[in-house]
Each structure stands twice: as C-alpha cells, then as structure tokens.
C-alpha cells in the first residue's frame, strides 16, 4: 500500500459534507511554528476555516458492500467513532507531524496512551523494561494492572552505564519505556543511550514526551521508536480536555524481529488472516492499535476534546519558550533562598542532568521544577497555603502556575518513611510554572517564604 492509499495518512475527507481534510506539513520542510498554526486541518474551497467537531458516533453508507469493505480494512473511511473520527485524526496526525512520526492515534487520556503503546506489542507472559523514574500513575499501571494481565514490568535506574542494562533483557522482553523529562523529579532521559540498548536487543524504545512537548524535544530524532503524550498537559495547556496520543516513528523493523512481535507479523484471524506488516508497512503498529485495541477496548478521545486540544496546539510554539524562560528564572530564585533545602531543574548548572539537558532540551527545559523546603510535611503545606495566586491543583504543565505537594495530596496515605523510600520525601514540592509575568510569580513565592 502506498502513502496515498493509507487510510490513516489520508482519511477519507472527500465525503461531501466535510469540506476539507488533513494536510501533512512535514517538520523537515516546515518549522514547528508553522505546523502548530497551519498544520492539520485544511479547508476545501469554501470549507470551514476552523477544524469542525464531527460530533457523530456513526457514518452512513449507501450500500452494505461499501460498509463491508471498511470492516475488512479494504477501503478507507469512517464507520464508528470508537475506532476513528475525522476530528481526532486531523489532530493526531498534526501532533505526529510535530514529532516527525508517520501517524498518531488520540486516546481518552495519557494513561490510555501508555497502556495501548505497550499492550499493542506485549501480552500475557511478556516482559517490559521501564525506567523507575516515571509518573506515579504510569507506575501503578505498570506495577499493578499490567501485572494482573500477565505482563511483568521490571524497573531500572535510568542513570546506569550502558553496559549494565544487558542483564535485564530476556527472550520475552518486548520494549523499553522511559520519560524524556520525568514527573515529578524532572530527570532527563538519555534517549540515545536507551535507543541503542533497546535496538541491540531487538525491541523498540517508547518515550513519554509529555513535559518537553515536541517544541523542546523530539525523541524520534534521537532514535526513539514510539512517542506517547498526556495531551492533558502542555499540548492542551488550558486545562480543558483530558487526552493522550500514541505516535509511531515508522522506523522500527518489526519483520526483522518477527518472532518477538507475532501480533504484527503473523495473520490476524479477526481480520480474515490479514498480516499488519505486509498490508500496511510503516503503518502496521498504528493500524493494529486502531483496528484491535480501539475496537476492543475503546478509549478513543471524544471529538470535542480533540477540537479543544487543537486550540492549544495552535499556540504551543509560543507558550513553551515562555514556560521555559519563566521556570529558569524561578528555579534560579528558589536556588538562592535559604529556606530551600534541595532543588532540581535541569536548566540549573547544579542539576545532575544539566549536560543531558543541553543535548536533549537546548531550547529550554519546560516549566516543571521539583524542590524541597526545609522541615517536614507541616512546613511544606503551610508554605503552600500562603500563596496568593499560585493554585493548589492535581495537575501539572498548564498555562497557570500551580503547585502540588505529594505528601499532602497524591501520596498522603504514605508514612514519612514510605515516601522517602519512594523517592518522594515529605518536603518535596512540584511547582509547574505558568505563563504569568515571572516577576509576579517570584513575588508570590517570596511573600510565601517571608510571611510566616
Ligand atoms: C499526567 C501524565 C500522564 C497521565 O496522563 P493523564 O492524561 O492524566 O491520563 C502520563 N505521563 C506523564 C508524564 C504525565 O505527566
């Protein structure tokens, strides 16, 4: 199948009422700013300028034969929004263009994206290697829920020398997983190192690129095979719409490691014996994800959310540099305060990941800072209570400056000792620096330190 026939690259937008379609703007040809504003939706002559919300669960056809071909993956077109929706496809492919991937699939949340990215290539009896420094929700998904499904995830220190990882690989290892910038400790993943390790053992590297966004880092350029995001964070930015995305680079050669990935390289009985790699080439992983996982599990992003997400994308290239500049100044301010016991922001020279950040995040390290104030649980939560406009929210990476204190919020059931063991000491505060005037943000922090 060539690119022009691929349903995911060229969704069938010649349905008369639609009035436009997805247009690929490659990040090799256009700058990210241009893709953010002009990418994705392209109106037909006289078509609507804004991306329409196709708020329809289903699509009508004239003959049963036409619809039958869609079910057999023989023709491209929409039939049920649990699998595909044009609003979603436009936005997913626009984000894939920003990342430099071949195709993307939107999911209902970042959690669904992490789950699908792995479950698409691993099943009961398989083994996955993940960095231990990952978002708490992902950690639960991997350590508890995937385990119940029979997939064993082994957690490794992401800062070991390259040679030390060979011992973790087994014949049933199916992928390696990490976060470009970890949540909440903002450590930087050495993507090239992990890509080399994964490829040496014939498996893909999956990277969660939520915090950098493609504006600050594009993991595919460093050898990563599959990129996921919680679009709930910066990509939306406005804290309006929960969502996620799975993007395939199209670079991993599944057929070369066919014995490890039978789901992609041997016939799928639920599609009359079609083999994804043979039928769809570089789109095999993406089409399997839509045709099997979306069909069977759902978790499609609603088209209204995709529309809101697209609004965020149109200014992503303007917002990310401001988050990074503001966070750099706030981090320097925090580092200068006697009340701060420890701070990590990869843009600070004192950060152990400063050199990695120069390589992977040359344009800025985004807006998230981890720091600890002196004292315990009480001192940290009293400090937070003194903020004037900085909000206490279970969220991160959005337009407004917000703060979360894991010991008082997300991890409040844990004892001080348990928190220490989990690498989240009682005093740890995650500050997500927003787009306000940086002087106002610093003034709010300063008065919270001083008005004891
Ligand atoms: C929030 C987050 C997730 C989970 O995303 P949801 O949209 O909340 O499901 C995954 N990874 C990272 C790095 C996150 O910050």
For a pLDDT cut of 90, what percent of the chain falls above it?
Answer: 81
Whole-number pLDDT of residue 330 = 98
User: Which residues partner with 175 through β-bridges?
Assistant: 128
Note the pLDDT tens digit of each residue in 262-280.
Answer: 999 999 988 889 999 999 9
**Dist. CA 137 → ligand 1 center (Å):** 7
pLDDT tens-digit profile of 42-95? 988 888 899 999 999 998 888 999 888 888 888 878 889 999 999 999 999 999
Among 53-67, 299-313, 319-333, the range scoring the smallest mean pLDDT is: 53-67
pLDDT above 50 for 260: yes
- Tokens, residue 61: 């056809």
Vertex 109 angle, CA 106 and 113, to 5° = 60
- Nearest one of 234, 198, 389, 262 to 322, comparing CA atoms: 234
CA dist., res. 325 & res. 183, Å (int): 19
Burial of 393 (0-12, 13-18, 19+ CB in 10 A): middle
Output the furthest CA–CA distance in the chain (Å, rounded). 74
Average of per-residue pLDDT across 206-219: 98
**Ligand 1 atom 8: the closest Cα is on which residue?**
110
On the question of pLDDT at 8 being above 80, the answer is no
Which regions of 11-73 does DSSP assign to beta strands (E)?
Answer: 20-23, 40-43
Distance in angstroms (rounded) separating the CA atoms of residues 75 and 86? 15
The confidence band for 425, taking pLDDT boundaries of 50, 70 and 90, is confident
Asked if the model's pLDDT at residue 1 lies above 80, the reply is: no
Does position 315 have pLDDT exceeding 70, yes or no?
A: yes
Sign, CA torsion 218/219/221/226: negative
The reported pLDDT for the residue numbered 10 is 53
List the residue whose alpha carbon is closest to atom 2 of ligand 1. Answer: 230
The mean pLDDT of 162-172, rounded to a whole number, is 98
**Alpha-carbon distances, residue 157 vs 130, 165, 178, 444 (angstroms):** 9, 9, 10, 36
Residue 311 has a pLDDT of 97
Q: What is the pLDDT of residue 271?
A: 85
Q: Whose CA is nearest to atom 4 of ligand 1?
A: 110
- Model confidence at 4: pLDDT above 80: no
Ligand 1 geometric centre to CA of 423 (Å)? 19
Find tokens 């917002």 and name the residue: 319
Give the separation between CA 247 and CA 192, rounded to whole angstroms.
18
Ligand 1, atom nearest to 242 Cα: 7
Q: Distance between CA atoms of 391 and 432, rounded to whole angstroms?
A: 10
| Residue 236 confidence (pLDDT) above 80 | yes
Q: Ligand 1 center to residue 124 CA distance, Å?
A: 24
| CA–centroid distance, residue 118 to ligand 1 (Å) | 15
pLDDT at res. 5? 52
- Give the tokens for residue 67: 């619809």
* Substitution candidate for ligand 1 out of 116, 133, 138 with most atoms within 8 A of CB: 138
In the structure, what pLDDT confidence band is assigned to residue 6 with cuts at 50, 70 and 90?
A: low
Whether 124 shows a pLDDT value over 80: the answer reads yes
Atom 1 in ligand 1: residue holding the nearest Cα: 230
- The atom number, within ligand 1, closest to the CA of 211 reads 13
Distance spanning both ends of the chain, measured CA to CA? 67
pTM: 0.95
Give yes or no for residue 107 having a pLDDT over 90. Answer: yes
Query: Closest Cα to atom 5, ligand 1: which residue?
Result: 110
Of 128, 97, 99, which is closest to residue 115 (Cα–Cα)?
A: 128
CA of 205 to the centre of ligand 1 (A): 18
Ligand 1: lining residues by beta carbon, under 6 Å = 109-111, 135, 137-138, 179, 183, 208, 210, 230, 232-233, 242, 244, 396
Mean pLDDT along residues 123-138: 95
- Cα dihedral 332, 337, 339, 341, rounded to 10, equals 50
């Amino acid at each position: 199948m060539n690119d022009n026939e691929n349903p995911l690259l060229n969704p069938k937008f010649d349905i008369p009422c639609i009035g436009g379609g997805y247009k690929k703007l490659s990040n090799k040809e256009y700058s990210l700013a241009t893709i953010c504003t002009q990418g994705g939706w392209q109106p037909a002559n006289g078509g609507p300028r804004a991306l329409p919300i196709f708020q329809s669960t289903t699509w009508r056809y004239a003959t049963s034969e036409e619809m039958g071909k869609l079910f057999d993956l023989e023709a491209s077109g929409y039939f049920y929004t649990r699998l595909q929706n044009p609003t979603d496809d436009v936005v997913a492919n626009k984000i894939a263009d920003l990342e430099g991937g071949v195709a993307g699939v939107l999911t209902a949340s970042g959690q669904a994206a992490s789950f699908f990215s792995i479950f698409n290539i691993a099943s009961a009896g398989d083994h996955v290697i993940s960095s231990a420094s990952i978002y708490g929700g992902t950690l639960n998904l991997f350590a508890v829920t995937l385990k119940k499904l029979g997939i064993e995830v082994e957690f490794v220190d992401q800062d070991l020398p390259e040679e030390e990882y060979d011992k973790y690989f087994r014949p049933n290892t199916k992928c390696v997983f990490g976060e470009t910038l970890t949540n909440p400790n903002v450590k930087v993943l050495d993507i090239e190192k992990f890509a080399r390790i994964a490829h040496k053992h014939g498996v893909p590297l999956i990277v969660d690129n939520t915090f950098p966004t493609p504006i600050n880092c594009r993991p595919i350029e460093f050898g990563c095979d599959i990129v996921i995001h919680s679009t709930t964070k910066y990509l939306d930015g406005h804290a309006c719409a929960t969502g996620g995305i799975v993007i395939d680079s199209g670079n991993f050669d599944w057929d070369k490691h066919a014995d490890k990935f039978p789901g992609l390289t041997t016939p799928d009985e639920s599609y009359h014996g079609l083999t994804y790699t043979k039928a769809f080439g570089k789109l095999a992983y993406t089409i399997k994800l839509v045709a099997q996982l979306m069909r069977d599990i759902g978790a499609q992003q609603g088209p209204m959310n995709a529309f809101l997400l697209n609004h965020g994308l149109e200014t992503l290239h303007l917002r990310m540099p401001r988050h990074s500049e503001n966070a750099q100044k706030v981090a320097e301010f925090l580092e200068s305060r006697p009340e701060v016991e420890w701070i990590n922001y990869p843009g600070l020279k004192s950060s152990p990941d400063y050199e990695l950040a120069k390589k992977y995040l040359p344009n800025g390290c985004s807006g998230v800072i981890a720091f600890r104030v002196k004292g315990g649980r009480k001192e940290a939560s009293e400090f937070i209570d003194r903020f004037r406009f900085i909000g206490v929210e279970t969220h991160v990476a959005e337009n407004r400056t917000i703060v979360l204190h894991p010991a008082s919020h997300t991890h409040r059931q844990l004892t001080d000792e348990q928190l220490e063991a989990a690498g989240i000491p009682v005093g740890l505060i995650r500050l997500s620096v927003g787009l306000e005037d940086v002087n106002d943000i610093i003034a709010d922090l300063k008065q919270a330190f001083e008005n004891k």
